[in-house]
Amino acid sequence: MSRPDRREASQLRALNCSLGQLNRADGSAQFSAGNTSVVSGVYGPVEAKVYEEKLDRAVVEVKFRPDIGAPTTKDKWMESAVRSTFEREILTHLHPRTLVQIVIQLREGDGSVDSAAINVTSLALVDAGIPLKCMITAATCAVLSDDTTVVDPTQEEIDAARSTHTFAFASGSPTESNARGPLYVDSRGEFTMDEYNHCYDLCALAAERVLAFMRTAIEGKVTKEAKISAA
């Protein structure tokens, strides 16, 4: 079955990103895959409120704001998903008694929003210069009613899917033997173990492609700045 937007099953939508477009935030990024678009601002390390500060590390706080309406439990869930994915990969012990605040604003959600939220957070943290153990990139797969598996599904595809799966990986090739497992997994619906494994492999490859895309974007920005300061 061909996809409504004529993509191959393993093909991502057109990716787009930009870094550092916000002035007030210490770091910011925008990431979009097709019509799904998110923007993120990061503040940190800033002073934590006395009642939430940790004496040995920085506190990581995530706020996810939907495009339409007030935040719901679904958005709270997204906040905890992003926080738990990044909390252990940020070198929080370098900045004790501080806060790293990540705000994610959904511009438009057309499927695969959770992976977009993770990807934009990676970019914004890098832009803010927050020390990270690794880059984290994510991808989503959907198993459709005809048993085909598609990467980076649109909302229309997700609505018709039997199951959807999102995986986030640390940078470093996940296909290599020394690779770490996924940092974040979210599977919904009814699926077999084989389907799950297939989605894992597809998402691992897709996440690698997202990383390569981000690398190009970051390299572009860094090289531009380096040229100016060298001149």
Q: Could you list the residues that contact other proteins (CB under 8 A)? A: 21-27, 35, 39-41, 43-47, 49, 63, 65, 67-70, 91, 94-99, 101, 103, 105, 107-108, 110, 126, 128-135, 170-172, 214-215, 218-219, 222-231
Asked if 36 contacts 110 with a C-beta cutoff of 8 angstroms, the reply is yes
Residue 49 tokens, joined: 């409120």
Name the residue nearer to other proteins (CB basis): 147 or 226.
Answer: 226
Strands 59-65 and 98-108: parallel
Residue 173 tokens, joined: 């090739």
Question: Could you tell me the end-to-end alpha-carbon distance of the chain, in angstroms, rounded to an integer?
Answer: 55
Which residues touch 117 (CB under 8 Å, ≥6 apart)? 38, 40, 64, 78, 81, 82, 104, 106
Least Å from the CB of residue 204 to other proteins: 16
Name the residue nearer to other proteins (CB basis): 101 or 115.
Answer: 101
Least Å from the CB of residue 193 to other proteins: 30
Name the residue nearer to other proteins (CB basis): 37 or 166.
Answer: 37
Q: Dmax of the chain from CA atoms?
A: 58
Asked if 116 contacts 32 with a C-beta cutoff of 8 angstroms, the reply is yes
Name the residue nearer to other proteins (CB basis): 44 or 149.
Answer: 44
Least Å from the CB of residue 190 to other proteins: 27
Least Å from the CB of residue 185 to other proteins: 20
Least Å from the CB of residue 160 to other proteins: 14
Name the residue nearer to other proteins (CB basis): 70 or 193.
Answer: 70
Least Å from the CB of residue 223 to other proteins: 6
Which residues touch 115 (CB under 8 Å, ≥6 apart)? 33, 138, 139, 140, 152, 166, 168
Name the residue nearer to other proteins (CB basis): 65 or 83.
Answer: 65
3-state secondary structure of 103: strand
